[in-house]
């Protein structure tokens, strides 16, 4: 272990081997910058459920040469379709390359994405550059370098390691975030709980559709495939999320807490449509997880000297806009580019915060009040939560498109913005 922990002072120290940390490590390696990642888990395992990676972030992953690996593993999502709780189609919005983007939108098992990133990092940077089974309890800056305070899986202290800068990518429970903001309050509960699962199921609709149906007060579902051809019958692995208003009944933010179908299935028991048996999908899951929808208020700062935050450690957000992973990936690219551009670490970290903190704060806040599926709430209010005869008697296509465009613009992945950035590069 001690040999693995030896670092040179020119290393960039990355705390956390999740999506943010591994992407940052790959970006640094591509720029010729020495780094080392310290991960709490004893090994990288394909844990979790589904996530989406939007085109602004898949561009970064493709630039890193990961397009073929991701395309072989993920589903390239072609459209988002919005339904009311009666199974009536409201609107379909084209996504990814189907909408004209240069790179796809990927629906992928979180573990598959993390494993793809980890395999690439180890292959390129070396196995000794990803140190597992190590917890970081804090960071101390002195004499033009920063040191990490580490312990092993049994809680025994390890020798400190030093580098040019430390970047906390250790997620929602980040110890470095707690160090920088010791007075921060508890997570902000939205009033809504989600239950998540994955089910082997025949292709739904196009087989590449993200489905958003219903609304939070009476029950909302988000459903999308994350793996193709998972058995001899050609079934997909389908990720689903059930969301429902509920008082907070447990301490927040335990991603691995098992859930009980009987706690929420009543809201969806009559959701049997000609295109999907929703209660059948839910009951078909091997494992159900229970998680309150929480976030944190945007921080007044991320950075102190040679220490900064990235990804969920910097800006945890309510998972309602398929944007958490994407914003972490954009963080990684931004800071790596600044470090590669000749900035010393202190000025690079300050410039990174100046560029990314306000941008991500906007996403955190819009996810609370106006995520993409706010369109469904608008239809419910206009129809009195009753079936409609013709959606265009309720709302025009142009107005529905405007709901989607607003979120894309705030999140930085509207087509015009990405095309303009591509023209500059």
Average pLDDT, the chain: 92
Q: What is the pLDDT of residue 255?
A: 62
Mean pLDDT of 78-89: 97
Among 50, 392, 71, 85, CA closest to 210: 50
Residue 227 has pLDDT above 90, yes or no: yes
pTM value is: 0.94
Identify the three-state secondary structure at position 175.
Answer: helix
Question: Tens of pLDDT along 49-70?
Answer: 899 999 999 999 999 999 999 9
Rounded to 5 degrees, what are φ and ψ at 106?
-100, 130
Work out the pLDDT band at 3, boundaries 50, 70, 90. Answer: very low
Tell me which of 126-130, 257-261, 272-276, 301-305 is least confident: 257-261
From residue 303, give the alpha-carbon distance in Å to each of 33, 150, 335, 357: 20, 20, 12, 10
Sign of CA dihedral 193, 199, 201, 205: positive
- β-strands 130-132, 35-39 pairing: parallel
Rounded to whole angstroms, how far apart are CA atoms 244 and 273?
20
β-sheet bridge partners, residue 245: 192
Rounded to whole angstroms, how far apart are CA atoms 161 and 402?
50
Q: What is the pLDDT of residue 410?
A: 80
Residue 135 has pLDDT above 70, yes or no: yes
Contact 370, 362 (CB under 8 A): no
Give percent above pLDDT 90 in the chain. Answer: 76
Rounded to whole angstroms, how far apart are CA atoms 342 and 348?
9
Rounded to whole angstroms, how far apart are CA atoms 157 and 164?
22
Question: Tens of pLDDT along 100-117?
Answer: 999 999 999 999 999 999
Mean pLDDT of 122-146: 95
β-sheet bridge partners, residue 227: 237
Rounded to whole angstroms, how far apart are CA atoms 197 and 333?
31
Residue 405 has pLDDT above 70, yes or no: yes
Give percent above pLDDT 70 in the chain. Answer: 95
Q: What is the pLDDT of residue 423?
A: 63
Among 222, 201, 140, CA closest to 175: 140
Q: What is the pLDDT of residue 251?
A: 62
Question: Tens of pLDDT along 242-288?
Answer: 999 988 876 656 667 889 999 999 999 999 999 999 999 999 998 89
Residue 394 has pLDDT above 50, yes or no: yes
| Domains detected in the chain | 2-47+110-185+299-367 (3.50.50.60)
Question: Tens of pLDDT along 312-321?
Answer: 999 999 887 7
DSSP annotation string for 201-236: EPPPTTSSEEEEEEETTTEEEEEEEEES--STT-PE
Q: What is the pLDDT of residue 297?
A: 93
Residue 119 has pLDDT above 60, yes or no: yes
Mean pLDDT of 420-424: 66
Mean pLDDT of 378-383: 96
Q: What is the pLDDT of residue 254?
A: 64
b/e for 8-35, b at 16 or more Cβ within 10 A? eeebbbbbbbbbbbbbbbbbbbeeebbb
Q: What is the pLDDT of residue 393?
A: 96
CB atoms within 10 A of CB 283: 13
């Amino acid at each position: 272990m001690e040999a693995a922990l030896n670092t040179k002072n020119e290393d960039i120290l990355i705390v956390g081997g999740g999506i943010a940390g591994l992407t940052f490590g790959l970006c640094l390696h591509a720029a010729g910058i020495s780094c080392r990642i310290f991960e709490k888990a004893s090994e990288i395992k394909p844990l979790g459920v589904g996530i989406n990676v939007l085109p602004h972030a898949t561009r970064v992953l493709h630039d890193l040469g990961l397009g073929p690996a991701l395309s072989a593993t993920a589903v390239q999502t072609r459209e988002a379709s919005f339904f009311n709780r009666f199974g009536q189609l409201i609107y379909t919005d084209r996504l990814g390359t189907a909408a004209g983007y240069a790179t796809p939108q990927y629906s992928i098992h979180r573990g598959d994405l993390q494993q793809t990133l980890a395999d690439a990092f180890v292959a390129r940077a070396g196995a000794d550059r990803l140190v597992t089974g190590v917890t970081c309890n804090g960071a101390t800056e002195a004499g033009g370098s920063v040191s990490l305070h580490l312990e092993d899986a049994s809680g025994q202290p390890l020798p400190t390691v030093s580098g040019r800068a430390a970047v906390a990518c250790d997620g929602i429970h980040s110890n470095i975030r707690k160090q920088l903001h010791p007075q921060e309050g508890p997570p902000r509960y939205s009033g809504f709980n989600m239950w998540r699962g994955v089910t082997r199921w025949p292709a739904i609709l196009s087989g590449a559709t993200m489905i958003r149906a219903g609304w939070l007060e009476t029950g909302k579902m988000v459903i999308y495939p994350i793996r193709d051809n998972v058995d001899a019958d050609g079934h997909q692995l389908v990720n689903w999320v059930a969301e429902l208003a509920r008082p907070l009944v447990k301490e927040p933010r335990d991603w691995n807490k098992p859930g009980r179908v009987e706690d929420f299935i009543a809201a969806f028991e009559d959701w049997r449509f000609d295109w999907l048996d929703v209660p059948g999908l839910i009951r078909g899951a091997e494992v159900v997880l229970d998680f309150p929808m929480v976030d944190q208020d945007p921080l007044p700062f991320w950075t102190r000297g040679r220490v900064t935050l990235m990804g969920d450690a910097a800006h945890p957000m309510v998972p309602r806009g398929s944007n958490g992973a994407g914003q972490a990936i954009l963080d990684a690219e931004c800071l790596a580019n600044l470090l590669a551009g000749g900035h010393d670490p202190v000025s690079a970290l300050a410039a990174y915060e100046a560029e990314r903190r306000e941008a991500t704060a906007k996403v955190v806040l819009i996810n609370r009040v106006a995520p993409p599926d706010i369109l469904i709430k608008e239809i419910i209010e206009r129809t009195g939560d009753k079936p409609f005869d013709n959606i265009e008697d309720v709302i025009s296509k142009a107005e529905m498109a405007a709901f989607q465009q607003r979120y894309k613009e705030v999140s930085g992945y509207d087509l015009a913005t990405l095309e303009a950035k591509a023209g500059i590069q």
